[in-house]
């Protein structure tokens, strides 16, 4: 049996002089930690989804920037900053949808540009900033979890909550966004059951959300994505909470492919549909969700199940990794600053955004 990972789970950890990533491509069967010492390896780890989930990608990219800063050999400040920008571009080219990646790279670049000291001083401040981004993210997730308690429907019965993909500790620096709400509801004694959509094609729900719930002793039922509507029709779901990869200024939210269908089903059954995400996931530069870049991934994610090729030769594939749920379907966005109607996100939160 695979060794138990430490609980709570921290998927991106700074360790003396390198980063340790939990290899999420191998969970739940194997609990492997990958050591990352170079920015190029961090870019590959993000692209291949060893580390995944919007806030976790942001934290990983921040450490990638620091690792990259150590690879630059010049002591000339301007040349250093220019090369650092190039490293930011390499990291930014890995996954286009999660805005936390660009947010973290931009915060790291601003720190470097704003430091008038030597290259050594800048490198030291970059490491401090990456560590701060990671620890802030855990605190942010805990605040999201706390605010999430306020959206739980008042009922003498314990609640059944449905989620899609994995927005848990693994997808953040720790604790999770949507699963942060689940954890808080569980601790408060308000939760009966989590329904986890398996989340084709990569099965983050069946593999990662289910694994996290089992680690915490939270009752979890995995369903195939196509079963969510049926479960809602049967009255089995009280509430839907999902994460997000990028939220536009008007409250439209991109999340794992299939989230939009869940939101439509929830609307049809009058079940509240919430998005839980930190401020770093809101892209105030995009007026609406149609402008969110949607990553397309390799078709093998669709036709390969383990070593098995499940489709006949000659088939074409389309594999968008995310979809956009229109703000009109979202009851509220749970952030570290409270719960907001999608239409209020810009007016209430833009002034708080850092980078």
Ligand X SMILES: CSC[C@@H](O)[C@@H](O)C(=O)COP(=O)(O)O
Instruction: Say if CB 179 and CB 211 are below 8 A apart.
Output: no
Task: State the DSSP H helix or E strand holding residue 211, giving kind and residue range, or none if neither.
Answer: helix 210-216
Kindly write out the interface string for residues 171-210 of this chain, putting x where it contacts ligand X by CB under 6 A and - elsewhere: xx----x--------------------------x------
Q: Which is nearer to ligand X, 327 or 334 (CB)?
A: 334
Kindly write out the interface string for residues 148-177 of this chain, putting x where it contacts ligand X by CB under 6 A and - elsewhere: -----------------x-x---xx----x
How far apart are CB 64 and ligand X at their closest, in Å?
16
Q: Taking the CB of residue 15, how many other CB atoms lie within 10 A of it?
A: 10
Instruction: Say if CB 91 and CB 42 are below 8 A apart.
Output: yes
Q: Which is nearer to ligand X, 9 or 54 (CB)?
A: 54
Kindly write out the interface string for residues 255-274 of this chain, putting x where it contacts ligand X by CB under 6 A and - elsewhere: xx------------------
How far apart are CB 63 and ligand X at their closest, in Å?
17
255 marked among binding-site residues: yes
Stretch that binds ligand X, among 12-20, 30-38, 49-57, 69-77 (CB under 6 A): 49-57
332 marked among binding-site residues: no
246 marked among binding-site residues: no
Is 245 an active-site residue?
yes
Q: Which is nearer to ligand X, 126 or 332 (CB)?
A: 332
Q: Is 286 in the site for ligand X (CB under 6 A)?
A: no
Q: Is 243 in the site for ligand X (CB under 6 A)?
A: yes
Q: Could you give the CA distance from residue 9 to residue 18 in angstroms, rounded to a whole number?
A: 18
Q: Which residue, judged by CB position, is nearest to ligand X in the bound state?
A: 243
Please provide residue 242's backbone torsions phi and psi, each rounded to the nearest 5 degrees. -130, 170
**Radius of gyration for the chain, computed over Cα atoms and rounded to the nearest angstrom:** 20
Catalytic residue among 41, 225, 238, 245: 245
Residues 96-125 that bind ligand X (CB under 6 A): 98
Terminal CA-CA length for the chain: 44
Closest by CA position to 243, among listed 100, 107, 136: 100
Residues 55-74 that bind ligand X (CB under 6 A): 55
**Three-state secondary-structure class, residue 139:** helix
Q: Which is nearer to ligand X, 55 or 88 (CB)?
A: 55
How far apart are CB 180 and ligand X at their closest, in Å?
9
62 marked among binding-site residues: no
Instruction: Say if CB 277 and CB 333 are below 8 A apart.
Output: yes
According to DSSP, residue 313 is labeled T
Instruction: Say if CB 355 and CB 107 are below 8 A apart.
Output: yes
54 marked among binding-site residues: yes
Using a 10 angstrom Cβ sphere, with 0-12 exposed, 13-18 middle and 19 or more buried, the burial of residue 322 is buried
Q: Is 289 in the site for ligand X (CB under 6 A)?
A: no
95 marked among binding-site residues: yes
According to DSSP, residue 288 is labeled S
Q: Could you give the CA distance from residue 123 to residue 310 in angstroms, rounded to a whole number?
A: 48
Q: Could you tell me the sign of the dihedral formed by the alpha carbons of 191, 137, 8, 21, in that order?
A: positive
Per-position b or e across 118-130, b if 16+ CB within 10 A of its CB: ebeebbebbbebb
| Lookup: tokens for 314 | 């000659």
52 marked among binding-site residues: yes
Q: Which is nearer to ligand X, 27 or 87 (CB)?
A: 27
Residues belonging to the binding site are 52-54, 95, 204, 255-256
Residues belonging to the binding site for substrate are 52-54, 95, 204, 255-256
Residues identified as active-site: 245
**Residue ranges that bind ligand X, judged by CB under 6 A:** 52-55, 98, 165, 167, 171-172, 177, 204, 243-245, 255-256, 321
């Amino acid at each position: 049996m695979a060794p138990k990972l430490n609980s709570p789970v921290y998927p991106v950890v700074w360790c003396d002089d390198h980063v340790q990533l939990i290899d999420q491509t191998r969970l739940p069967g194997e609990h492997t930690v990958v050591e990352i010492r170079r920015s190029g390896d961090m870019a590959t780890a993000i692209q291949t989804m060893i580390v995944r989930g919007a806030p976790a990608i942001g934290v990983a990219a921040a450490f990638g920037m620091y690792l990259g800063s150590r690879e630059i050999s010049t002591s000339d400040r301007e040349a250093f900053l220019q090369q650092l920008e190039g490293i930011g571009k390499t990291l930014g080219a890995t996954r286009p949808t999660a805005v936390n990646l660009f947010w973290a790279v931009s915060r790291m670049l601003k720190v470097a540009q704003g430091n008038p000291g030597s290259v050594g001083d800048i490198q030291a401040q970059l490491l401090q900033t990456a560590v701060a981004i990671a620890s802030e993210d855990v605190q942010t997730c805990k605040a999201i979890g706390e605010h999430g308690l306020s959206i739980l429907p008042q009922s003498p019965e314990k609640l059944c909550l449905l989620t899609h993909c994995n927005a848990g500790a693994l997808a953040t620096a720790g604790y999770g966004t949507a699963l942060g709400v689940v954890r808080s509801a569980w601790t408060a004694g308000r939760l009966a059951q989590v329904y986890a959509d398996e989340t084709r094609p990569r099965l983050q729900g069946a593999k990662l959300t289910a694994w996290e719930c089992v680690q915490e002793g939270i009752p979890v039922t995995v369903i195939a994505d196509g079963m969510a509507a049926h479960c809602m029709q049967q009255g089995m779901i009280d509430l839907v909470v999902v994460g997000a990869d990028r939220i536009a200024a008007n409250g439209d939210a991109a999340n794992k492919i299939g989230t939009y269908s869940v939101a439509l089903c929830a609307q049809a059954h009058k079940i509240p549909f919430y998005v839980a995400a930190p401020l770093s996931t809101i892209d105030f530069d995009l007026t609406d969700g149609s402008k969110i870049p949607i990553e397309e991934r390799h078709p093998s994610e669709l036709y390969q199940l383990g070593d098995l090729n499940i489709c006949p030769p000659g088939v074409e594939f389309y594999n968008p990794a995310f979809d956009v749920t229109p703000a009109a379907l979202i009851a509220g966005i749970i952030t570290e600053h409270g719960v907001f109607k999608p239409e209020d996100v810009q007016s209430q939160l833009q002034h708080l955004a850092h980078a």
